[in-house]
Amino acid sequence: MWGLGLDYIQTNQDKMKTYKDSFSIAKYVVIIVIISFTIFGSGCKKENATEVNLGADTTSHNFNWQIDTVGVYQCNLQGIWGTDINNVYAVGFVYFSLNPYVASNIIHWDGSSWKRIDYLEGTLCDIYGFGEKDIWAVGYYSVDNNAYSLIAHWDGKTWITWKLNQYNQLLSVWGTSSTNLYAVGWNGVILHYDGNAWTKQNSGSSSFVLRDIWGLDGNHIFVAGQNESTGEGVILQNDGYSWKTIVKGGINPDSTMLYGDFVSVWGNTSDKLYLVGALSYEGKAGNWRLSDIPYNSPINNITGLSAMRCVRGTSANNVFISGDRELIIHWNGNSWYKYDQFYSKSKQSSLKRIWTKDKNVFIVGYSTSTQALVYRGIQQ
């Protein structure tokens, strides 16, 4: 498939654990901004937990889970994408062996095991594609302790890379095609590729780390960002012509600003948008209220449970949130549920990006033991 002489890496089957759902929603600070802004959908449901009923059709919270541990030392997976559940790619950094030294920043799941694909000079943070012969990855390379933009494209035969030392570290990539592609990152950088060259676009948010980009189409593109110094958050929207700020967050919210920062955004219809960061809000036509979730308030948020890192889904009734300490929360159209069998406040692990396909979900991150983690779930 990749034509790169894949080195087989045996997944440690003894460490793959199967879990059934046994969950209850925790008193948890979830930030899911469900923004009715002429954009996207919502969804979730099940038993034995506090429910937030928004009237959508429901699906099951019952997932069978497999947990794959990959690598041996200081491993961390940051991004994931696939064409189907037997053809999935993850990026980050994985040591498969220290003696001899074998490392990779791209690995592949073929339906039975994770294999080493290749190593590109630098660190990869996200991956997105349009087919087996059209895959993009972004991240950074370092020179004298400075991080600069790294972009890579797989055309089915080889990797083509761009090293752009005029721009900072890139964290997320999304597009409608390989002639309309966006990458975002530190210092408010937004790069656009038209099939010929990468050009910088004005984000108006140079003090923000832009952590996530997602779009419904070329006229509804969204970016989530945070100011790590001030705790402010920002959501940008591109309408096909220019970027503008549509949501702000801060430590002193008022009638024009929500509380906290924002790290991930996703939606699926022209109805509602999900935003993950410090708290959870619901909005319609610019009118906002806190979501009816326990401990979802600026006062309770200062107790600090786990940061949420990503929100993704397949439909209005199948949405996932991932976060620190192996946090996984699912919305089924009627209620949010936290999978308590995975989460622990004592864990130093984290789950990062999510890829969903039909009734399947893949979530990547790293474990307390510094191995890379991949959660694979299938809805029952």
Q: Identify the structural domains of the chain with CATH numbers, from first to last.
A: 13-379 (2.130.10.10)
pLDDT score for 170: 98
Q: Are residues 325 and 349 in contact, defined by beta-carbon separation less than 8 angstroms?
A: yes
Q: Are residues 39 and 312 in contact, defined by beta-carbon separation less than 8 angstroms?
A: no
Token reading at 159: 């990797």
Q: Which of 25-34, 169-178, 252-261 has the highest mean pLDDT?
A: 169-178
Distance CA 317, CA 34 (A): 13
Share of the chain above pLDDT 70, in %: 76
Distance CA 172, CA 163 (A): 16
Q: Are residues 77 and 105 in contact, defined by beta-carbon separation less than 8 angstroms?
A: no
Top-confidence residue, 311 or 285 = 311
To which H or E segment does residue 299 belong? helix 298-301
Summary mean pLDDT of the chain: 81
Distance CA 94, CA 34 (A): 35
pLDDT score for 17: 41
pLDDT score for 307: 77
**pTM of the predicted model, to two decimals?**
0.83
Q: Residue 50: is its pLDDT beyond 60?
A: no
- Section 35-56 average pLDDT: 37
pLDDT score for 353: 98
pLDDT score for 312: 94
CB under 8 Å to 13, separation ≥6 — which residues? none
Q: Residue 217: is its pLDDT beyond 80?
A: yes
To which H or E segment does residue 266 belong? strand 262-267
CB under 8 Å to 145, separation ≥6 — which residues? none
Token reading at 36: 């009715």
Token reading at 176: 């409608």
How far is the CA of 4 from the CAs of 54, 90, 91, 169, 321, in angstroms?
Answer: 48, 16, 16, 27, 34
Tell me: the pLDDT tens digits for 13-26? 333 344 434 333 33
**3: pLDDT confidence band, cut at 50, 70 and 90?**
very low
Q: Residue 304: is its pLDDT beyond 90?
A: no
Q: Residue 47: is its pLDDT beyond 70?
A: no
Distance CA 63, CA 22 (A): 10
Q: Sort strands 273-277 and 327-331 into parallel, antiparallel or unpaired.
A: unpaired
pLDDT score for 378: 97
